[in-house]
Amino acid sequence: MKFSRLQFLMMAAAIAPGALLAPASAQAQSAFDAQFLTYPTYNGDDLELSVSPDGTDFRLWSPKAEEVNLSLYDNGHTGLPYEVIPMKFNAENGTWTAHVPQQLYGKFYTFKVKQNGKWLQETPGVWAKAVGVNGNRAAIIDFTKTNPAGWDADKRPEVKNFSDVIVYEMHHRDMSMHPSSGIANKGKFLALTEPGTTTPEGLKTGIDHLKELGVTHVHILPSYDYNSVDELNLQNNTYNWGYDPLNYNTPEGSYSTNPSDPSARVREMKEMIKALHDNGIGVIMDVVYNHTAQNDDSNFELTAPGYYHRHWDDGRYSDASGCGNETASDLQQMRDYIINSTKYWADEYHIDGFRFDLMAIHDTETMNQVAQELKKIDPSIFVYGEGWTAGDSPLSIDRRALKDNVYKMTDISVFSVDLRDAVKGHYSNAMDRGFATGKPGNEETVKIGIVAATNHPQVDFSKGNNSKFPYAASPEMIVNYVSCHDDLTLTDKLRKSMEGEPEENMLAAAKLAQTIVFTSQGTPFMFAGEEVFRDKKGVHNSYNSPDSINAIDWTNKSKYNDQFEYYKNLIALRKAHPAFRMTTADDIAKHLVFDKIDSSKTPNLISYSLKDHANGDEWEEIKVVFNGASKPQTVKVKKGNWKIVAQDGKITSDGSLGTTKGGEITLPAYSALILAR
């Protein structure tokens, strides 16, 4: 989900000063929400459902309910309950319990809460780990039977430092729906379990393509059960990104081969993860705990009315998500929910990382606890998020998990919108150009991106277009990118902003833009298909556009094979050379040295060195030069015996393009020069 920094600043200015001065210890964000502080909470791992040799136990947290009924069903979608059981209240922890002396595998259940004299709709609860079709009823399945062969021995890919991670953001349908993917299980979790798939021209697709490209992690768009796609009518081929959460702890049904079989989606998602792990690729899940698809009809409201969402003083839903509501991570039961849910995905599904949507709706304390708890499972689990909101929140700015507050968090990273908009032009204005497409004035902000927003003696943050201070204490707090699922693809952005120029210029600018991302300090992130110059026909918000807009046309891999080869070698260069992957701000300040260039006289030109075997690199010095101007520009390189790593739209990981003695070197328009000695 996107949000403009500008809008944010305008909004922040509109907030009453008192809100900014609220003490950090305050828990409730409004007079209305203060009532929830008195609620007893419950953090046991037996919430809602547990099956043991003694039978099946149910425990719903709903402290203010007057009555709760449990309904048991034979079917996940139709028919009346075969039994309705009144649940018993435990006032100490606010939970309602029921016990059935049989193991109810294969059955389904719902809860029904009576509060303020009114019976609410049925709900599968908030902890359904399996559901019937369309997620209306929770399912009781034996999870041990959902594990693919070898699951117990399944291992996360090793991650030494987060700066070693290379993220590839993908949607299940985008990757496989196009006929040219050659994939049988189109749009399904299983698509990435198929080895040997190719384009009609015989080039690799699917999981083999990912391996060939060299990315270390895929970041999958929302894959929990979401609301918008009717799982009973998959023949309609409805598309959605999935930012409309329904059941947070079960996979989305439309990505399984049989949404009516509650075990199928669980097993198939695990099969996908196992296949990726077997090929050395980690899986990061996009999580959207910040809001629910519905307000009063959400599972949160139907189990504990009022509690899980934030409100203004008058009791109206606050809406920092721009989707009608926002959740209340500052309240204990919601905070524990987010922590336990991510832990569940890491434990049960071996998920390797989490990307938090609109992370600044959550408070920094919650995010710190999420990272700490995940670290106990595996220190390699990578957590990052969007350091912004999409609307005003009752949560005070100092407590929001904002980009500018990332220094208050440990082991959490944020997207660098600084680098993104400075390199390609502002996301909200299609025609706007950036550093890589000839617009002057972005040089200092690109430098902020290059040093991963850490304190650097040669970078003047006051000249930055976005953040005005070095907000990252370490490069491992920064994710660098030029495009993602939101907004125009890089290709579409270049086609609009460089209209009238030949396509070869756009291809050159795309290479330059990604060279900046992949040589910068921090963690690089790319949007699936950019390596084959993928477009979305100019549609910037394609969240429910058809496959004809969203699916990647893999015939592009031959059409733009030079582009693919460049990305592949660029990734190989980063992986082979630790100088691009420093782990501390001190190292960057010491080993990354910018050459003096007067941007007012020669704009769109940046040159720097990674010196003295930076971060243990075999190369003593790496010279990196970017010319984002629409004309050739010349730099002066110190005399020496340099290997040419990148020049004129070509790149290698080992410097085998030739040699140069330095001196004056001219870079073509929109190009990078990388030398090493």
Residue with smaller CB distance to Ca ion, 287 or 592: 287
Q: How far is CA 596 from CA 459, 586, 591, 600, 636, in A?
A: 11, 21, 16, 12, 11
Stretch that binds Ca ion, among 64-72, 247-255, 325-333, 651-659 (CB under 5 A): 247-255
Our measurement of the distance from residue 133's CA atom to the centroid of its chain's CA atoms, rounded to an integer in Å, reads 26
Tokens 């340099």 locate to: 642
How many residues of this chain bind Ca ion (CB under 5 A)? 2
Residue with smaller CB distance to Ca ion, 291 or 420: 291
Residue with smaller CB distance to Ca ion, 225 or 501: 225
Nearest distance in Å: CB 457, Ca ion: 52
Largest CA distance in the chain: 85
Q: Helix axis angle, 262-278 relative to 206-213, nearest 10°? A: 30
Tokens of 340: 């336990």
Nearest distance in Å: CB 291, Ca ion: 16
Nearest distance in Å: CB 231, Ca ion: 5
Q: Helix axis angle, 364-377 relative to 332-349, nearest 10°? A: 30
**Element (DSSP H or E) covering residue 598:** none
Nearest distance in Å: CB 259, Ca ion: 7
Q: How far is CA 367 from CA 283, 359, 376, 399, in A?
A: 20, 8, 15, 11
Stretch that binds Ca ion, among 11-19, 172-180, 223-231, 590-598 (CB under 5 A): 223-231
What's the length of the chain?
A: 677
Stretch that binds Ca ion, among 219-227, 543-551, 558-566, 636-644 (CB under 5 A): 219-227
Stretch that binds Ca ion, among 93-101, 248-256, 310-318, 382-390 (CB under 5 A): 248-256
CB nearest Ca ion: which residue? Answer: 225
Nearest distance in Å: CB 245, Ca ion: 10
Tokens of 670: 């929109």
Tokens 């990647």 locate to: 552
Number of other residues whose CB lies within 10 A of the CB of residue 549: 15
Q: How far is CA 561 from CA 482, 532, 611, 675, in A?
A: 21, 7, 33, 24
Strand-strand pairing, 282-287 and 413-415: unpaired
Catalytic residue numbers, as ranges: 357, 386
Q: Which residue in 322, 316, 321, 320 sits closest to 296, CA to CA?
A: 316
Rounded distance, CA 7 to CA 336, Å?
31
Rounded distance, CA 177 to CA 192, Å?
12
Q: Would you say 61 and 304 are in contact if contact means Cβ atoms under 8 Å apart? A: yes
Nearest distance in Å: CB 360, Ca ion: 26
Stretch that binds Ca ion, among 189-197, 246-254, 476-484, 575-583 (CB under 5 A): 246-254
Q: Which residue in 616, 609, 615 sits closest to 583, CA to CA?
A: 615
Number of other residues whose CB lies within 10 A of the CB of residue 167: 25
Nearest distance in Å: CB 222, Ca ion: 10
Position among 225, 404, 418, 421 found at the interface with Ca ion (CB under 5 A): 225
Nearest distance in Å: CB 228, Ca ion: 8
Q: Which residue in 588, 358, 615 sits closest to 473, CA to CA?
A: 588
Give CB contacts under 8 A, 24+ apart, made by 81-90. 81/110, 87/58, 87/60, 87/111, 89/65
Residue with smaller CB distance to Ca ion, 231 or 501: 231
Termini Cα distance of the chain = 43
- Burial class for 79, CB neighbours closer than 10 Å (0-12, 13-18, 19+): exposed
Residue with smaller CB distance to Ca ion, 268 or 330: 268
Rounded distance, CA 517 to CA 421, Å?
12
Interaction of residue 261 with Ca ion, rule CB under 5 A:
no
Residue with smaller CB distance to Ca ion, 187 or 253: 253
Nearest distance in Å: CB 260, Ca ion: 12
Residue with smaller CB distance to Ca ion, 63 or 253: 253
Residue with smaller CB distance to Ca ion, 138 or 412: 138
Torsion, Cα of 426, 432, 437, 441 (10° steps): -70
Residue with smaller CB distance to Ca ion, 125 or 253: 253
Nearest distance in Å: CB 81, Ca ion: 22
Residue with smaller CB distance to Ca ion, 233 or 656: 233
Rounded distance, CA 288 to CA 250, Å?
13
Stretch that binds Ca ion, among 154-162, 205-213, 222-230, 441-449 (CB under 5 A): 222-230
- Burial class for 291, CB neighbours closer than 10 Å (0-12, 13-18, 19+): buried
Stretch that binds Ca ion, among 19-27, 225-233, 446-454, 576-584 (CB under 5 A): 225-233
- Residue ranges that bind Ca ion, judged by CB under 5 A: 225, 253
